[in-house]
Structure 1
Amino acid sequence: MPIQCNKLVFWNLAAVAVLGSWFWLPNHGFWFDIDKAIFYYFNDKIGTSDAWVTVVALANNRAFDGVALLAMGLVYYSHYRGASAEQKRQLLIIGLMMLLTAVGLNQLGRAIPVERPSPTLTFENVFRLTELAGFKTKDSSGDSFPGDHGLMLMIFTAFVWRFLSWKAGLWGCLFVVAFSAPRVMGGAHWWSDIYVGAFSVACFGMAWLMHTGVFDALLAWLNRHLPRFSRG
């Protein structure tokens, strides 16, 4: 696959523009205003509704992560079950590539020279899920940038859009919003941790891997070298 220069340049510029506007503006500029408004909107709800506390606390329990994994798995399986034997092999290899990419880009995100505590550790006199809920949940992070949940969901979206279908990609976009929202609503992440940090890392990393032919070459290499298992 030849290098797709236009797409490569576009997504790199998008990553630099979004991250740069957050990184270099004093106190993160308008991004901080958005972050603060969103945090207090949901935090005020936590302080006035026991039902809201329960819902958001449940969504921030580690067990809820399994719901996101199940949703992504169902989208992937819906394509896998109707595929031919050769297509199923390729889908398994693509799944392996997705996992390796997630690990690599997560490390890239950690390398960004930013240490940013979550809003619940930044603002004073705020409501905390861990104090109001009667069970284990999460409402803080000592280093929340970039949002790791959002990054994993964006990587999944890029893969299924590229290798499955645009409909699968739209499901992935929905998952990004739905399954990263609980961390924002609970105060463990700033909104920009996801839509600036995770977005920038995903744009940069996936552009270089997808639009330079790296993934296609890796898929072909793994398909040639990984063992084949025949039935019977």
Structure 2
Amino acid sequence: MTPSFLNSQWRVRPLLACNGVALLLLLTWLWAPSRAIWDQVDLHLFALLNEPVHAAGLWAKTWAIGSMRPVDMGVGLLMLAVMLKAGLVFNAAQVRQALFAFLAALIVMLLFRVGFAELVKLMGWQRPSASLVVEGAARLTELFPGWEERWDMKDSATRSFPGDHASVLLIWAMFMSFFARNWRLLLVWVMALVFMLPRLVAGAHWGSDALVGGVFLALLGLAWACFTPFAYTASGWLEKATLPLTRVLSKVPLLGRLSVISGR
């Protein structure tokens, strides 16, 4: 059963709408008068989130853990678990095709990211992260040097725009929003926003890296995958290509009971 928003036809209106919103959002960041507003939002948001870190208490420790590289892997697994749990957002027959369609959207977004990174570099739009710019910023790596040595915490970046971490979370949340309803929709967006916070609290990214750059990339990736035949075609192709593997895995105890393998 193909997810209802996927089809083999071009959907011009939502495609143009997503591209238009993405471009307009980027222009607000580039146009000097509105950029001044974004800069103030960035500074105020960073002060709000980062200043409590100086106390090195529970707030700091929570986001220091969230900034660890291994935690990113755990977040990714949790996102997949929400997607692959039959009956939570997708029914069992949709799980595998939804996963393949999301991977197609993610690939499209990453391709846009490569091109956009070159444009950002060419136009001189790049900038260092908040923790490297704001005087007196609390650095998690300095507060917890032992954790940094062992777990590789992320609290700075010489090139912070756009927010890659945020773009992945946002395209996942936008994709899931096609199906999630009621408390499930709330769950998806709470997860996305909470998992974006560690980079913002630590100052590895400015707020607009996520709210402009991340949203810009997520909208483009989602639009050109799901409102064109690409995700539909890619999910169908991957379904056929992986069929021999899923047939083998379906015979493995426990593993074969997973909806992403069995389709039921």
In the alignment, the residues of structure 1 paired with residue 105 and residue 22 of structure 2 have an alpha-carbon distance, to the nearest angstrom, of 20
The one-letter amino acid of 2:92's match is A
Deviations along 1:190-218, one digit per CA (max 9) or x if unpaired, are 01100110101111232122112221122
TM-score when normalising by structure 1: 0.85
Per the TM alignment, residue 226 of structure 1 is displaced from its structure 2 partner at its CA by 4.6
Correspondence for 2:71 = 64
CA distance in 2, matches of 1:103, 1:95: 12
- Sort the Cα spacing of 1:92 and 1:3 in 2 relative to 1 into closer, same or farther, 3 A: closer
1:17 aligns with 2:24: yes
Bigger drift between 103-112 and 28-37 goes to 103-112
Aligned match of 1:213: 229
The aligned counterpart of 2:137 is: 126
Q: Matched residues in 1 for 2:102 and 2:220: separation?
A: 20
Alignment deviations for residues 57-116 of structure 1 (CA, whole Å, 9 cap, x no partner): 1111112213312321221221289624xx455345335435534533432442341321
Amino acid aligned to 1:100 = I
1:83 alignment partner in structure 2: 92
Q: Which deviates the most, 96-105 or 152-161?
A: 96-105
CA-CA distance at 1:150 after TM superposition: 0.7
Change (3 A) 1:112 1:166: farther
Shift of 1:55: 1.8
How much does 1:11 deviate?
Answer: 1.1
Mapped to 2, the partners of 1:56 and 1:127 lie a distance apart of 12
Mapping for residues 100-115 of structure 1, pairs under 5 Å: 100-101=107-108, 103-113=110-120, 114-115=125-126
Give the aligned partner of residue 151 of structure 1. 167
Contact 1:68 1:175 in 2 (8 A): no
- Give the match's secondary structure for 1:125: coil
Match of 1:35 among 15, 32, 42: 42
Q: SS at the partner of 1:140?
A: coil
- Residues 80 and 88, structure 1, Cα contact 8 Å, conserved in 2: no
The 2-side partners of 1:88 and 1:146 are apart by: 30
Shift of 1:221: 3.4
Greater Cα shift, 189-198 or 46-55: 46-55
Is the CA contact 1:151–1:198 (under 8 Å) kept in the aligned structure 2?
A: yes
Aligned residue-pair number: 229
State the 1:25 CA deviation: 1.8
Tell me, in whole angstroms, the C-alpha distance in 2 between the residues paired with 1:124 and 1:97. 41
2:155 counterpart (114, 139, 156):
139
> In the alignment, does 2:182 pair up with 1:171?
no
CA distance in 1, matches of 2:108, 2:187: 20
SS at match of 1:6: helix
Partner of residue 127, structure 2: 116
Amino acid at match of 2:202: G
Distance 2:104 2:223 in 1: 15
- CA pair 79-107 structure 1, distance change in 2 beyond 3 A: farther
* Partner SS state of residue 205, structure 2: coil
CA RMSD between the two structures: 2.6
Aligned match for 1:6, one of 13, 19, 22: 13
- Sequence identity of aligned pairs in percent? 29
